[in-house]
A and B are shown apart, each in its own frame.
Chain A
Amino acid sequence: MADATAEPGAGRPSLMPALERMAGDIARFALPVLFAFFVGAVVLAFIGENPLDTYALMLSEGFGSSRRIAATLSAATPLLFTAVATAICFRSGVFNVGVDGAFVLGGLAAAAAGALLPVAFGWSIAPLAMVAAMAVAGVWLYVPGLLLARLDVDEVVSTLMLNFIALGLSGFLVNTLLLSETSGNNTTDTIHDVAELSRLMPPSTLHSGFLIGLACVAAYWVWARWTPAGYEAKLVGLNPRFARAVGIAIPASIVLVMAISGIVAGLGGASHALGQVHKFSDGFSAGYGFTGMAVALLARNSAFGIVFGAVLFGALASAGTTIQLFSDVPLDIVNVIEGTVMIFAVMELGRLSLRRGRAS
């Protein structure tokens, strides 16, 4: 309720409300995580493990040394891309679940370009491979965007199905046209050495794709907050009828966010192919598109939240693989925690928060 005595000039921002809002944002981020760790603790206790010991081990495996931190950031790298690609759509009320497929095809395009372009192209191979990945993945999601905008084809169904097509298509290509002559099956040639993204902290696999991912997050923040198109996309997500009645072309906005989503996901695939695995083989994406969705939901589409969320899930993934070596705790506990975070992230006290997203 507006205070009857408040003057219009009283609307200047003050520090206290800003702090309150920040506290609220942090709580909305932290509570699902805490709940998830609690549920994970119950599961651990149930299988006879000490939850505190396990979590302490996970913490030290995730962040205990500069090498472990590098491994965490390395695991977080693909999530930065897929989370941004998801958030940009969710923020506009477009439930795009096809980021994983776009990530896979982007990786395939980049790996193929990285291996097949003449080595004489030198340093320009990596950027060319990225452009190829962005083009392929951008078109890949542009199509369901167009179908949604023009023909009202449900984007959940179309993008979900496109994931399977992307998997099948890439699986077919790496066993036929792009099959490496030096290896058995399911894989392309290794990319030229000159096309590899530089390692930031050898011997860890952390590579400069992480920096590109951070740049993507920053670009997303700028786009969402500082451009008319980003503002319009937000209004479309908050209330399409209102957006239309203030002259915003909703179809154009939908197609735009879908195409950008594909481009970002494709760049993520390129970063993973050129920086991490140096080739494309079946099983290229370990569900990065879906973990990215969890990150976007947890972050409520906020750019800063995406960085935190990606690092959190990266730490879970990298710690999860090593604790399996050092204890009887199965890797699946990480999946339990991830899944639980996702459920609690979308709850927001019983209300789905998709349409309330923002990037600031």
Chain B
Amino acid sequence: MAVRLGARDVAKSYGAVRANSGITLEVAPAEIHAIVGENGAGKSTLMRLLQGLEQPDAGSIVFNDRPIRLRDPEQALGLGIGMVHQEFMLAPELTLLENFVLGHEPVTAALPLGRHIDWRAARAAGDALAAKTDLAIDWDRRAGTAPVHIQQYTEILRLLQRGMKVLILDEPTAVLAPQQADDLFTLLRQLRDQGTSIVFISHKLREVIALADRVTIMRRGRVVASSRIDETDIDTMTRHIVGEAASVAPPAAAVRAAAGAPVLDVTGLSAPAIAGSHPVRAVDLQVRSGEIVGMAGIAGNGQDEFIQCVVGLRKPSSGAVGLNGRALAGRDNADFRAAGLGYISPDRAHEGLAKSASIEDNVMAASQRAPAFRRGPFRRLGAVRTEAFRRLSQLKVRFGRLSDPVASLSGGNQQRLVFAREIATEPALLVVAQPTRGVDLGGIAAIHAILRDFAARGGAVLLVSEELDELIALSDRIVVMAEGAIVGEIADETATPEAIGRLMLQQDSHGEAANG
């Protein structure tokens, strides 16, 4: 088989994390090739390698059947490999036409001094391309005000104008309505028929079935399956994507105390979306003391918005949030903390920690006004320091000096520090998001033990994770979120990755029924 773009035994590691290992990919000329997998499966890393943003540790990138070394994205563009990013790279203040020619403007052939951009030629080129692909584009519109799918078309045409032979699209339908997605597919099929190869990254298996010629499935940095699309189906793909769930030991269920009184009580919660995600739609959820409730869902389906509402970082548009019997919807994080909240942020680097602050400052934050650490208007620095040692040693955080910047700790130790801070105040509810992201295996086991211990002592835990294994191993029950709503709930005994995965991925049919 001829290979337009591909990879041969490619490996790439970041520190201890093997993001890609032994990856072989073959995208044929005039083929739509879907790449699917969970978040963290290594898709983005592979795309970065294919674009020349990074170089593989081992193996090689293949272009037109020959191994090549891509030094940088410029070289990839020169060869005709172009990428349409999830967030479009148009200049919002410029018109679509200006964006279309930006960086390779046609110029009049006059004397150097009188040279200027030949807008007539630019428009002609744009119109010709648009006509070839059956698109109508109002070139004079400012990019920032154009509908999102028109922006996407402009970006695609812009790459075609520069002679791209391969287009890489990163979840192109994430921001599109179903009808717009259908139009995009028509365009992509047309481009394929005209000889362009298309690499299509998606979470939505129905789209993959509808559009792709071949599919490659990644899991944990490896290719686990690759086949023609007519030789597979959604169930098979789902099984490959989520894998088997045996890798994490199940909890000793007998130890678990029966769930007690409700600690977190959310009713009818709705909230506006963060850009590119889904708004939260009328979510009801209770978490009782001693209970770990897992929340599953593909990234960007409203989980982030939901968590932010439940920890006081985002104002819901409607609905109630009760914590320990206090109505807190729309209040500040400080009020939630006063009512008994601990919060493990999904974004450890930017929200869970102040990276350049010291270990002491990080582990003692949020306690600075507690009576134990104050004498009159002043802080008791000695007591603060003693407590910092106590918190850190309790969760066995390995560190050098309290005054070291927290960035000097390893990822796993940083996350332990976050837990040490959030558990030290003995909260009634711990909202935990992506607790083991970027943490090595030993650290994962320790963090799971912390969570089980917290629940066993009567704490309530809301656990949001993209790791299905983790959810199944820790949760008493799992709710699944899709497109901003809770679409199903699975008790621990019946939870399998397949069952959860089916609920997570069923959003396609639901979404079309709801939006279409």
Question: Is A239 an interface residue when CB atoms closer than 8 A count as contact?
Answer: yes
Cβ-defined contact, B368 with A245, below 8 A: no
Contacts known (A238-B354, A239-B354, A242-B350); A2 close to B365, Cβ less than 8 A: no
A-B contact count (CB 8 A): 107
Kindly provide the distance from the CB of A224 to the nearest chain B CB, expressed in whole angstroms.
11
Q: Return the contact of B399 from the options A6, A226, A227 (Cβ within 8 A).
A: A6
Question: Is A356 an interface residue when CB atoms closer than 8 A count as contact?
Answer: yes
Q: Digit string of B351-387 for contact with A (CB within 8 Å is 1, else 0)? A: 1111111010100011011000010011101000000
Cβ-defined contact, A246 with B366, below 8 A: yes
Question: Is B93 an interface residue when CB atoms closer than 8 A count as contact?
Answer: no
Of listed A12, A17, A245, residue having the most chain B CB within 10 A = A245
Closest to B336 in A: A247
Q: Return the contact of A249 from the options B311, B332, B397 (Cβ within 8 A).
A: B332
Q: Return the contact of A241 from the options B311, B351, B369, B402 (Cβ within 8 A).
A: B351
What interface size band does chain B fall in? 35 or more
Cβ-defined contact, B413 with A2, below 8 A: yes
Cβ-defined contact, B402 with A13, below 8 A: yes
Cβ-defined contact, B399 with A1, below 8 A: no
Cβ-defined contact, B377 with A11, below 8 A: no
A231–B402 CA distance with the chains assembled, in angstroms? 16
Question: Is A10 an interface residue when CB atoms closer than 8 A count as contact?
Answer: yes
14 contacts between A and B (CB under 8 A): A2-B413, A3-B400, A6-B400, A8-B397, A13-B402, A13-B403, A21-B403, A227-B377, A228-B379, A234-B357, A241-B347, A246-B365, A247-B332, A248-B334
A241–B351 CA distance with the chains assembled, in angstroms? 5
Question: Is B389 an interface residue when CB atoms closer than 8 A count as contact?
Answer: yes
The interface residues of chain A, by DSSP majority, are classed as helix
Q: In the assembled complex, which residues on chain A have CB atoms less than 8 Å from the CB atom of B413? A: 2
- Which residues of B in the span 319-340 have a Cβ within 8 Å of any Cβ on A? 332-334, 336-337
A21–B354 CA distance with the chains assembled, in angstroms? 20
Kindly provide the distance from the CB of B50 to the nearest chain A CB, expressed in whole angstroms.
32
8 further A-B pairs in the complex, CB-CB below 8 A; given A6-B399, A8-B389, A234-B361:
A9-B389, A227-B378, A235-B354, A239-B354, A245-B333, A245-B343, A247-B336, A356-B356
Kindly provide the distance from the CB of A132 to the nearest chain B CB, expressed in whole angstroms.
26
Cβ-defined contact, A247 with B366, below 8 A: yes
- Which residues of A in the span 198-229 have a Cβ within 8 Å of any Cβ on B? 222, 225-228
Question: Is B496 an interface residue when CB atoms closer than 8 A count as contact?
Answer: no
Q: In the assembled complex, which residues on chain A have CB atoms less than 8 Å from the CB atom of B381? A: 225-226
Question: Is A244 an interface residue when CB atoms closer than 8 A count as contact?
Answer: yes
- Which residues of B in the span 157-194 have a Cβ within 8 Å of any Cβ on A? none
Question: Is A4 an interface residue when CB atoms closer than 8 A count as contact?
Answer: yes
Cβ-defined contact, B357 with A239, below 8 A: yes
Q: In the assembled complex, which residues on chain B have CB atoms less than 8 Å from the CB atom of A4? A: 398
Question: Is B393 an interface residue when CB atoms closer than 8 A count as contact?
Answer: yes
Contacts known (A6-B398, A226-B379); A231 close to B361, Cβ less than 8 A: yes
Q: Return the contact of B389 from the options A11, A225, A244, A246 (Cβ within 8 A).
A: A11
A17–B352 CA distance with the chains assembled, in angstroms? 27
Cβ-defined contact, A228 with B374, below 8 A: yes
Closest to A8 in B: B393
Cβ-defined contact, A2 with B356, below 8 A: no
Kindly provide the distance from the CB of B464 to the nearest chain A CB, expressed in whole angstroms.
15
A244–B352 CA distance with the chains assembled, in angstroms? 10
Q: In the assembled complex, which residues on chain B have CB atoms less than 8 Å from the CB atom of A247? A: 312, 332-334, 336-337, 366
Q: Return the contact of A226 from the options B313, B369, B378, B397 (Cβ within 8 A).
A: B378
Cβ-defined contact, A242 with B356, below 8 A: no
Q: In the assembled complex, which residues on chain A have CB atoms less than 8 Å from the CB atom of B343? A: 245
Question: Is A155 an interface residue when CB atoms closer than 8 A count as contact?
Answer: no
Q: In the assembled complex, which residues on chain A have CB atoms less than 8 Å from the CB atom of B347? A: 241
The interface residues of chain B, by DSSP majority, are classed as loop
Cβ-defined contact, B368 with A228, below 8 A: yes
Question: Is A232 an interface residue when CB atoms closer than 8 A count as contact?
Answer: yes
Of listed B333, B343, B368, B409, residue having the most chain A CB within 10 A = B368
- Which residues of A in the span 125-183 have a Cβ within 8 Å of any Cβ on B? none
Kindly provide the distance from the CB of A106 to the nearest chain B CB, expressed in whole angstroms.
25
Cβ-defined contact, A235 with B334, below 8 A: no
Q: In the assembled complex, which residues on chain B have CB atoms less than 8 Å from the CB atom of A249? A: 332, 334
Kindly provide the distance from the CB of A154 to the nearest chain B CB, expressed in whole angstroms.
19
Cβ-defined contact, B361 with A11, below 8 A: no
Closest to A17 in B: B401
Q: In the assembled complex, which residues on chain A have CB atoms less than 8 Å from the CB atom of B410? A: 1-2
Cβ-defined contact, A9 with B393, below 8 A: yes
Cβ-defined contact, B400 with A10, below 8 A: yes
A3–B351 CA distance with the chains assembled, in angstroms? 25
Closest to A242 in B: B354
Q: Return the contact of A245 from the options B352, B355, B378, B392 (Cβ within 8 A).
A: B352
Closest to B374 in A: A228
Q: Digit string of A245-266 for contact with B (CB within 8 Å is 1, else 0)? A: 1111100000000000000000
Kindly provide the distance from the CB of B505 to the nearest chain A CB, expressed in whole angstroms.
31
Q: Digit string of A307-343 for contact with B (CB within 8 Å is 1, else 0)? A: 0000000000000000000000000000000000000
A53–B311 CA distance with the chains assembled, in angstroms? 65
Question: Is B345 an interface residue when CB atoms closer than 8 A count as contact?
Answer: yes
Q: Digit string of B300-315 for contact with A (CB within 8 Å is 1, else 0)? A: 0000000000011100
Q: In the assembled complex, which residues on chain B have CB atoms less than 8 Å from the CB atom of A222? A: 378
Q: In the assembled complex, which residues on chain A have CB atoms less than 8 Å from the CB atom of B392? A: 8, 11
Cβ-defined contact, B409 with A2, below 8 A: yes
A196–B409 CA distance with the chains assembled, in angstroms? 56
Q: In the assembled complex, which residues on chain A have CB atoms less than 8 Å from the CB atom of B336? A: 247
Q: Digit string of A1-43 for contact with B (CB within 8 Å is 1, else 0)? A: 1111010111111000100010000000000000000000000
Closest to B355 in A: A239
Cβ-defined contact, B366 with A231, below 8 A: no
Smallest CB-CB A-B distances: 10 pairs: A247-B334, A8-B393, A239-B354, A246-B366, A228-B368, A2-B398, A246-B365, A242-B354, A238-B354, A247-B333
Q: In the assembled complex, which residues on chain A have CB atoms less than 8 Å from the CB atom of B369? A: 228
Kindly provide the distance from the CB of A346 to the nearest chain B CB, expressed in whole angstroms.
17
A9–B361 CA distance with the chains assembled, in angstroms? 17
Cβ-defined contact, A242 with B313, below 8 A: no
Question: Is B396 an interface residue when CB atoms closer than 8 A count as contact?
Answer: yes
A67–B378 CA distance with the chains assembled, in angstroms? 40
Question: Is B408 an interface residue when CB atoms closer than 8 A count as contact?
Answer: yes
Q: Return the contact of B398 from the options A8, A227, A234, A239 (Cβ within 8 A).
A: A8
Kindly provide the distance from the CB of B366 to the nearest chain A CB, expressed in whole angstroms.
4
Q: In the assembled complex, which residues on chain B have CB atoms less than 8 Å from the CB atom of A243? A: 354, 365
Kindly provide the distance from the CB of A22 to the nearest chain B CB, expressed in whole angstroms.
12
Of listed A222, A235, A242, A243, residue having the most chain B CB within 10 A = A242
A298–B379 CA distance with the chains assembled, in angstroms? 28
A226–B332 CA distance with the chains assembled, in angstroms? 25
Q: In the assembled complex, which residues on chain A have CB atoms less than 8 Å from the CB atom of B368? A: 228, 231-232
Of listed B393, B399, B402, residue having the most chain A CB within 10 A = B399
Kindly provide the distance from the CB of A14 to the nearest chain B CB, expressed in whole angstroms.
8
Q: In the assembled complex, which residues on chain B have CB atoms less than 8 Å from the CB atom of A9? A: 389, 393
A246–B369 CA distance with the chains assembled, in angstroms? 12
Cβ-defined contact, B393 with A245, below 8 A: no
Cβ-defined contact, A242 with B365, below 8 A: yes
Cβ-defined contact, A241 with B389, below 8 A: no
Cβ-defined contact, B374 with A244, below 8 A: no
Kindly provide the distance from the CB of A175 to the nearest chain B CB, expressed in whole angstroms.
44
Q: In the assembled complex, which residues on chain B have CB atoms less than 8 Å from the CB atom of A17? A: 401, 403
A225–B336 CA distance with the chains assembled, in angstroms? 27
Q: Return the contact of A3 from the options B312, B389, B397, B398 (Cβ within 8 A).
A: B398
Kindly provide the distance from the CB of B343 to the nearest chain A CB, expressed in whole angstroms.
7
Kindly provide the distance from the CB of A125 to the nearest chain B CB, expressed in whole angstroms.
30
Q: In the assembled complex, which residues on chain A have CB atoms less than 8 Å from the CB atom of B312? A: 247
Contacts known (A2-B398, A2-B409, A232-B368); A244 close to B333, Cβ less than 8 A: yes
Q: In the assembled complex, which residues on chain B have CB atoms less than 8 Å from the CB atom of A238? A: 354, 356-357
Q: Return the contact of A11 from the options B313, B365, B366, B399 (Cβ within 8 A).
A: B399
Kindly provide the distance from the CB of B309 to the nearest chain A CB, expressed in whole angstroms.
14
